[in-house]
Chain A
Amino acid sequence: MYDVINAYMENGLKVILHRIPEAKTVSCGLWVNQGSKHENDENNGLSHLVEHLVINPQNANNYEYSELAYRAAAEGVIYNAATTKECTYFYYIGLKNTLDICLSCLAHIAINNRDFEHNFFENEKKVVLQEATSFYSSFQQIKERTSQAIWGNVGIGKVIMGNLRLIEKATQEQVQELLRVSYIPANATIVVVGNIDYSQTLEMIENKFGKWEDRRKIIKEEFVEELPSGYWNKGSGSNAVISIGFRAPSYQSEYRTATDMMVRILGQSGLQARIVQEVRMKRGLAYNVGGFSNFYKNRGTIGFMAVCDKNKTMEVADVIMNTFFKVLTTGFTEEEISREKKIMETSMLLSMENTTDHLRNVGKCSVMESNFYIENEVRRIRSVTKEDLDSIAKRILHENNMGLAVIGDCELDKLTEKVRFS
């Protein structure tokens, strides 16, 4: 049985603890509900910039944190951070006896890292710009562009890397305003996973985070475009990337697991995935081809993409659409469903054996106001039927639910005639 302690501190901070008696390492993380979906046209990209600023120990304005971070590294602690559409999270992993120092680092990130030395600030902006430039020069951005196409350049459609021009002009005042409004206890969760003692860990967290000032959380309504649209950029070079995306259920939806399974069977199950088979194995049209899915608190995005020669985009689109037609007419086979269930279950259980992946699963669920229980996840996988999958395919693979993202110089008008169900 998987047991978890869920608690709230007096200042509103949520705490989730999970004890794994046999674990030799401990992982702890801070999740703040501030991501690109909370941004607008004036600050798109700031959540990611803030992530860089608050975790970097080179800020001379917080000497104590710098010292802690270097001591933690000397103890073998590994730390990292990431920004998503819904949250920014920071995590530290180390031997069991490093929990105290790891939590101290997180406390500084949460509470104290608000003021940045000028040169440090400007330098970190450059680093973020480099990362963003690299992202926007890569075909991998197509997944974000698919979200943008499906939901609009608003809310969940906002690209995490943000607007390069805004990042360049970002000021300390803007960053501090974001920290003031979003980095508050009621908007955050601490997660600890490992061979821990619940009482001691709670006491440690209380000591370090108790002084974090309780402030009222500002609830903003989440908007998206009513209709899916498209993202089209002529790109450059001889290659193009095309992604056909669909609006999908939310993380909490009863259809989420079946949707995930459908995407995997069609595009993620290695070389056996249907679209990979048709596009790559049988026709050699692309090397980089597959499906992806992202489930958020209120909605989700799925997509199927391929990087190909720009003159082959039409053919790739045709093949992908024909794969959809076949699924809609003949459904999924018991063989591929059985295979995918085992892959998903294995993958889920593997993630539990890695304290970092485990930590991230728990943290992600807390952002979506859901609890993570491995038994539940496995049960959901096992209970998916062929009828569920066939039904979800009809529900999601639908013309009015569809968007298109293309980067590359191709005949868009002819492409839109191909990418349709009617």
Chain B
Amino acid sequence: MGVSIAVAVGLYGISFGALGVAAGLSVWQACALSALMFTGGSQFAFIGVMSGGGTLGAATLAASLLGVRNAVYGVQITALLRPSRTTRPLMAHLTIDESTATALAQPDAQEQRRGFWTAGVGVWLLWNLFTLVGAMLGERIGEPTAWGLDGAAVAAFLGLLWPRLVGRDARTIAVASAFVTLIAAPVVPAGIPIIIAAGVSGALAVLQHRSAR
């Protein structure tokens, strides 16, 4: 299971690399994000804000907020696998959607550990390899609108969002976020609507959490 996830996810690296270069990163900057940030959603957020004309500060903030869920995954992984202090820094780097989901899906401790490492290391290797391929392709393509690269970005974000739209609470937040973004976009500088939407969504989630108790 870990291997099949790794192969599928590695292929997304091509779209990240190509879109990253189209957004204004150099090939090596796109590769640095994949190697060091290594969390697809945040990386796409970073280049998504950039390509929308937002500042690098807004791009960093959006990427950082989207990465908060990885801290929650870290807690789950620590509770599940009880890793030693020395392996934690490396495991932290590999803690992403795919490695966490793979570990959580396994029935026993040994398989959970194996799933986490296979998915984590496998995705990291393929993600970086294909980011490089995509970035080099993107450099040749040049203009982002050529080949519908901007349409690919829209589809990439929708594809990340889709599996999370489960349940009424998530859909309510999505509708509110879309509304806030459209209202804010003409009024505040580029990139900021995404940050406002994140704040509103966080506040809504708190309200939903309270009313659920």
A binds B: no
B residues with a Cβ closer than 8 A to A are none
A residues with a Cβ closer than 8 A to B are none
